[in-house]
Structure 1
Amino acid sequence: MDETRIAIGTRIKLAVLCATVFSVFYNVNAWYASTLDYVPSFIFSFEKYMPFMAWTVVPYMTSGALFVAVFFLCNTMQELRTLTKRVLFVSVVAGLFFLIFPLKFSFIKPDSTNTLFNFIFQFIEIVDSPFNEAPSLHIAFAFVFWSVFRNFTPTWRHVSAVWLVLLGLSTLSTYQHHLLDVVTGAILGQLSFIIFPAQRNNFQVRNFHLANYYFLGGWLIVLLSLLVFEFYHASGFILLWPALVLFLMGYTYQKNKVHFLKNNLGTIPWYKKIVYFPYIGVYWLFWKFLRKNKKPIMLIPNLYISSRLDHSEFQNFKGNRNTLVYDLSAELEENKAIIQNCQYHAVPLLDIGAFDTIEIKRIVLEITTHYKELPKDGKILIHCTMGFTRSTFIGILVIKNILSLPLEEALLKIKTTHKDAVIHGYLQDFLKTINI
Structure 2
Amino acid sequence: MDEKQINIKQKIFGLILCSIVFAIVYNFTAWYAASFENVPSFVFEIEKNIPFIASSIIPYMTSGIFFCAVFFVVQTKEQLIVLTKRMLFIILISGICFMLFPLKFSIAKPEINNSILEIPFLFLQKMDSPFNQSPSLHIAFAFVFWSVFRNFKSGRRYIIIWLILLGISTLTTYQHHLIDVFSGAILAQLTFVIFPFRKNDFQFRNFIVANFYFLFAWIFAFLALIIQQFVTDFGFIFLWISLMNFVIGFHYQKNQTRFLKDKFGTIPLLKKLFYLPYLIVYWFFWKFFRKNKIPVELISGLYVSSRLNQSDLNEFNKDECNIIVYDLSAELEEIKELKVNKKYHSVPFLDIGTFDLITTQNLVNQIFIEYKQRKSNDKILIHCTMGFTRSSVIGILVMKKVLSLTLEEVLIIVKSRNKYVVIHSYLFNFMKKVNI
Q: TM-score, normalized by length of structure 1?
A: 0.94
**What is the alpha-carbon distance in structure 1 between the residues aligned to residue 82 and residue 312 of structure 2?**
49
Q: Structure 1 counterpart of 2:166, which letter? A: L
The correspondence of residues 129-144 of structure 1 with structure 2, limited to 5 A, is 129-144=129-144
Report what 2:276 is aligned to. Answer: 277
Contact in 2 for aligned 1:4/1:76 (Cα 8 Å): no
| Superposed structure 1 runs of 4+ greater than 4 Å apart | 1-7, 319-322
% identity of equivalent residues: 54
Query: CA separation of 1:209/1:34 partners in 2, compared to 1, >3 Å: closer, same or farther?
Result: same
Report what 1:33 is aligned to. Answer: 33
Which blocks of at least 5 consecutive residues in structure 2 are unaligned? none
Query: CA separation of 1:12/1:429 partners in 2, compared to 1, >3 Å: closer, same or farther?
Result: closer
Q: Structure 2 counterpart of 1:216, which letter? A: L
Q: Structure 2 counterpart of 1:249, which letter? A: I
Query: CA separation of 1:332/1:63 partners in 2, compared to 1, >3 Å: closer, same or farther?
Result: same
Query: CA separation of 1:58/1:216 partners in 2, compared to 1, >3 Å: closer, same or farther?
Result: same
The correspondence of residues 51-200 of structure 1 with structure 2, limited to 5 A, is 51-153=51-153, 155-200=154-199
Contact in 1 for aligned 2:294/2:312 (Cα 8 Å): yes
The C-alpha deviation readout for 1:297-356, integer Å capped at 9, x for no partner, is 222222111111223333443397942110000001111211213411111011111211
**What is the alpha-carbon distance in structure 1 between the residues aligned to residue 103 and residue 423 of structure 2?**
48
Report what 2:238 is aligned to. Answer: 239
The C-alpha deviation readout for 1:361-410, integer Å capped at 9, x for no partner, is 11111101011101244221111011111111111111111122222332
Contact in 2 for aligned 1:323/1:342 (Cα 8 Å): no
Deviation at 1:416, TM superposition (A): 2.0
Number of residue pairs aligned between Structure 1 and Structure 2 = 435
Q: Look up the SS of the partner of 1:385 in the other structure.
A: coil
Q: Look up the SS of the partner of 1:257 in the other structure.
A: coil
**What is the alpha-carbon distance in structure 2 between the residues aligned to residue 194 and residue 6 of structure 1?**
29
Q: Look up the SS of the partner of 2:362 in the other structure.
A: helix
Report what 2:265 is aligned to. Answer: 266
**What is the alpha-carbon distance in structure 1 between the residues aligned to residue 82 and residue 418 of structure 2?**
40
Report what 1:20 is aligned to. Answer: 20
Query: CA separation of 1:203/1:3 partners in 2, compared to 1, >3 Å: closer, same or farther?
Result: farther
Report what 2:406 is aligned to. Answer: 406
**What is the alpha-carbon distance in structure 2 between the residues aligned to residue 203 and residue 5 of structure 1?**
31
Q: Structure 2 counterpart of 1:166, which letter? A: L
**What is the alpha-carbon distance in structure 2 between the residues aligned to residue 89 and residue 257 of structure 1?**
32
Query: CA separation of 1:168/1:6 partners in 2, compared to 1, >3 Å: closer, same or farther?
Result: farther
**What is the alpha-carbon distance in structure 1 between the residues aligned to residue 197 and residue 396 of structure 2?**
30
Q: Look up the SS of the partner of 1:262 in the other structure.
A: coil
Q: Look up the SS of the partner of 2:426 in the other structure.
A: helix
Deviation at 1:3, TM superposition (A): 6.6
Identify which range, 193-202 or 368-377, moves more after superposition.
193-202
Q: Look up the SS of the partner of 1:432 in the other structure.
A: helix
Query: CA separation of 1:264/1:71 partners in 2, compared to 1, >3 Å: closer, same or farther?
Result: same
Report what 2:325 is aligned to. Answer: 325
Report what 1:301 is aligned to. Answer: 300
**What is the alpha-carbon distance in structure 2 between the residues aligned to residue 10 and residue 415 of structure 1?**
44
**What is the alpha-carbon distance in structure 1 between the residues aligned to residue 209 and residue 283 of structure 2?**
20
Q: Structure 2 counterpart of 1:189, which letter? A: A
CA RMSD in angstroms comes to 2.0
The C-alpha deviation readout for 1:242-300, integer Å capped at 9, x for no partner, is 22222222222222111111121211222222221111111111112222222222222
**What is the alpha-carbon distance in structure 2 between the residues aligned to residue 180 and residue 58 of structure 1?**
22
**What is the alpha-carbon distance in structure 1 between the residues aligned to residue 150 and residue 183 of structure 2?**
22
**What is the alpha-carbon distance in structure 1 between the residues aligned to residue 12 and residue 91 of structure 2?**
18
Report what 2:397 is aligned to. Answer: 397
Q: Look up the SS of the partner of 1:348 in the other structure.
A: strand
Q: Structure 2 counterpart of 1:169, which letter? A: I
Query: CA separation of 1:35/1:303 partners in 2, compared to 1, >3 Å: closer, same or farther?
Result: same
Q: Structure 2 counterpart of 1:90, which letter? A: I
